[in-house]
Amino acid sequence: MRFDLVTFAVIIFPMYRDTQHWIETLEKANELVRIKTPVSPTLEITEITDRVSKVYGPALLFENTGTDFPLLINSMGTEDRMAKALGVDRLTDIGHDMEELFKQLLSPKESLLDKLKLLPKLGSIASWMPKVIGGRGACQEVVMQDPDLTKLPILKCWPEDGGPFITLPVIHTKDPVTGIRNVGMYRMQVFGPKLTGMHWHRHKVSARHMQEYKKRGEKMPVAVALGGDPAYTYCATAPLPDGVDEYMLAGFLRKKKVELVQCLTQDIQVPADADIIIEGYVDPNEDYILEGPFGDHTGYYSLPDYYPKFHVTAITHRKHAVYPATIVGIPPQEDAWIGKATERIFLVPIKMTMVPEIVDMVLPVEGVFHNLVVVKIRKEYPGQASKVMHSLWGAGQMMFTKMMVIVDGDVNIHDPVELARYVSANFDPLHDTYFTAGPVDVLDHSCSVMAFGGKMGLDATSKSPEELSMRKTVTGTNDTTPIDLPALKVKYPEIRDLNISLLEKGISLAFLSIEKNKPGHVKELTRALFALPEFRRIKGLIVLEHSVDVQDIADSVWRFSNNVDPKRDCLTIESTDDGAFNHLVLDGTRKTLAHDGFQRDWPNILTSDEATIALVDQKWQEYGLGTFLPSPSNKYRKQLYAGGAVAE
């Protein structure tokens, strides 16, 4: 019997037959709580889940949703559960398997024996390819006679959301010319029993498919799968190159091909073992519908905009189907671990096919995927950090990365303190800061125009003699002049708070909160502060608005990385003193027309309303979730701007 990595994976970690099998697995591992008390999909489930996800709590199965369908949420809400969902002990195991596969396929094959040794691996790859089977699948056991989305427990997540949204849809489209399938995940706002929006952005493959159908004057078939093997949900989010079938990746993860069945009313195929299938079409020539607001993964509302209409033609499901959902919002949430899987899995193809000097990569949860990336490289020549930045900015979905930090050496980039200390030691704000502009995520509210804005790269690698030859080097400062915050507040009454706690850890970074009251205020104030002797030892200063608690560093990083357009909002200040560092200021405050000339609407942050918080407080013991967890929204409600989804 052949016993290789593939066989081992299948024996130890079999793929999940369906959502029920996934639920049973979680329950046996004491990773799931069944909630039997009646709950409302409107706001209540979100508030419960937000409390649980913030403490990395269990998966939740709401069995009494007011519909015929139980609802599963937070099932991938920890790194361990995310690994279980993909059939491994650790997420790094997938990368190791992928690296081994790449090495075998890409290494030179000089002899006939070498080529023959590759045949079993090629056979394994063939066994991962998706296959269309005849007849109906389990996902089609029940056909709704009158398709009605309101019969599903679809969530309204946050108070200012435009309505209920399907939040874990695995959406299938195909190119009308090539027939190549795309599987993606785009939220769907429900407008009626048979109508939703289809929130695909201009950069997405499905949006390009729609343009091809428009050229042909044809309606576009679409199918939405809910549930089934959790690998499907992950693969719908994976940043695969155009033309690569997401179900091939699912087959690799499952070590078994995905079986697909033909839809009943649309010419498109879906996983046979899914729980629920929604079939329909998009008419590219039809007027778009105003969709949103929606409480998004940035922790802010994404504001209303026009998107295509999706018309439902059929809904089918298993006899005992489970409706899967997720919520997104202020991190951490379940989506953080989906992002962690992508970080671990796609590091391998990036470094093996495009940027070979990459050693490791981290997408900090506070950076909500696209705002902040840390890359560790094997440095061999001057300027290599700049080369890596620009290579990654040109690579697939990495093009949306707003801020990139490049390090080298032995630093553990998964240890935030060790990483920050290394960056602080090796980064000179005047010489090691790179700016460019390009595509940014559509959800980025900080850029002056939608989907286009500034980017920043920080070269925090150890510097070669060539790189140091043209600069004044300050290896450190012995100045420990204390900062008298009360005196500063008297002199500059706009200052609310200052966090310099990182200086004691050898990290030359501080956080300042102020109440802006005039144009150019941040630049004027920070120039004045860096003229003071007590600020000589601070390299980096992040400025936030007065309502933000700058003593909470994680929250401060989250707020600043969302609110900054680095090219527009960055100030470098050259030291005129040989004993002081150069300085970098990043303005992470809200931008307004009056103070910044900013002309776009600024969104609010996400919190539950007081009535929902009180309801969940009152019912907590009924849920069976153990020790009372206070609402995370209590922490953030004082930071809300006046207004609704749009800040006044």
Residue 105: the pLDDT is 59
**Quick check: 189 and 197 in contact, CB under 8 A?**
yes
**Quick check: 58 and 629 in contact, CB under 8 A?**
no
Nearest residue to 296 via CA among 194, 199, 373, 363: 199
Place of tokens 């000339």: 597
Dihedral-angle region of residue 595 (phi above 0 means left; psi in -120 to 50 means alpha; beta otherwise): alpha
| Burial class, 251, CB count within 10 angstroms (exposed 0-12 / middle 13-18 / buried 19+) | buried
Average pLDDT over residues 563-574: 97
Residue 112, SS3 per DSSP: helix
DSSP string covering 362-373:
E--GGGTTTSEE
**Quick check: 276 and 315 in contact, CB under 8 A?**
yes
Q: Per-residue pLDDT tens for 59-97?
A: 999 999 999 999 999 999 999 999 999 999 999 998 888
Q: Per-residue pLDDT tens for 407-425?
A: 999 999 999 999 999 999 9
Residue 577: the pLDDT is 80
Q: How far apart are CA 313 and CA 278, in angstroms?
A: 8
Q: Which long-range contacts (CB under 8 A, 24 or more apart) does 413-417 make?
A: 413/360, 413/361, 413/362, 413/374, 413/376, 414/360, 414/362, 416/364, 417/505, 417/507
Q: Per-residue pLDDT tens for 226-280?
A: 999 999 999 999 998 888 899 999 998 988 899 999 999 999 999 999 999 999 9
**Quick check: 354 and 391 in contact, CB under 8 A?**
yes
Q: How far apart are CA 178 and CA 507, in angstroms?
A: 54
- Helix H or strand E segment including 343: helix 335-353
Residue 127: the pLDDT is 75
Place of tokens 């809400």: 77
Catalytic annotation present for 296: yes
Q: How far apart are CA 284 and CA 224, in angstroms?
A: 18
Residue 374, pLDDT > 90, answer yes
Q: Per-residue pLDDT tens for 185-215?
A: 999 999 999 999 999 987 789 999 999 999 9
Cis peptide before 493 (omega within 30 of 0): no
DSSP string covering 9-52:
HHHHSPPPSSHHHHHHHHHHTT-EEEE-S---TBTHHHHHHHHH
Q: Per-residue pLDDT tens for 439-495?
A: 999 999 999 999 999 999 999 999 999 999 988 766 556 667 789 999 999 999 999
Residue 289, SS3 per DSSP: strand
Q: How far apart are CA 569 and CA 596, in angstroms?
A: 10
Q: How far apart are CA 52 and CA 631, in angstroms?
A: 9
Q: What are phi and psi of 276, to 5 degrees?
A: -135, 140
Nearest residue to 195 via CA among 316, 311, 313: 311
Strands 131-132 and 259-262, bridge-based pairing:
parallel
Catalytic choice (50, 245, 296, 459)? 296
Lowest mean pLDDT among 49-63, 336-350, 503-517: 336-350
**Quick check: 460 and 423 in contact, CB under 8 A?**
yes
DSSP state letter for 531: T
Burial 477-511 (b: 16+ CB within 10 A, else e): beeeeebeeeebeeeeeebbbbbbebbeeebbbbb
Residue 8, pLDDT > 70, answer no
Residue 55, pLDDT > 90, answer yes
Residue 2: the pLDDT is 32
> Using N-to-C axis directions, what is the helix angle for 335-353 and 230-237, rounded to 10°?
60
Residue 51, pLDDT > 80, answer yes
Residue 107, pLDDT > 70, answer no
Residue 113, pLDDT > 60, answer no
Q: How far apart are CA 135 and CA 142, in angstroms?
A: 14
The pTM assigned to this predicted structure is: 0.93
Q: Report which residue type is found at 66.
A: G
Residue 9: the pLDDT is 36
Nearest residue to 77 via CA among 325, 248, 440: 325
Q: How far apart are CA 473 and CA 578, in angstroms?
A: 9
Average pLDDT over residues 534-544: 95
532 pLDDT band, cuts 50/70/90, is: very high
Dihedral-angle region of residue 67 (phi above 0 means left; psi in -120 to 50 means alpha; beta otherwise): beta
**What six digits make up the tokens of 201?**
């952005």
Cα angle 461-467-470, degrees, rounded to a multiple of 5: 140
> Using N-to-C axis directions, what is the helix angle for 230-237 and 246-254, rounded to 10°?
140
DSSP H stretches of helix in 354-436: 384-393, 416-426
Q: How far apart are CA 540 and CA 74, in angstroms?
A: 37
**Quick check: 266 and 222 in contact, CB under 8 A?**
yes
DSSP string covering 154-223:
-BB-STT-SS-EE-S-EEEEE-TTT--EEEE---EEEEETTEEE----TTSHHHHHHHHHHHHT-PEEEE
Q: How far apart are CA 51 and CA 154, in angstroms?
A: 19
Q: How far apart are CA 8 and CA 19, in angstroms?
A: 23
Residue 391: the pLDDT is 95
Q: Per-residue pLDDT tens for 114-172?
A: 545 544 555 566 778 899 999 999 999 999 999 999 999 999 999 999 999 999 999 99
Average pLDDT over residues 637-642: 96
Average pLDDT over residues 586-591: 98
Length of the chain: 648
**What six digits make up the tokens of 211?**
């343009």
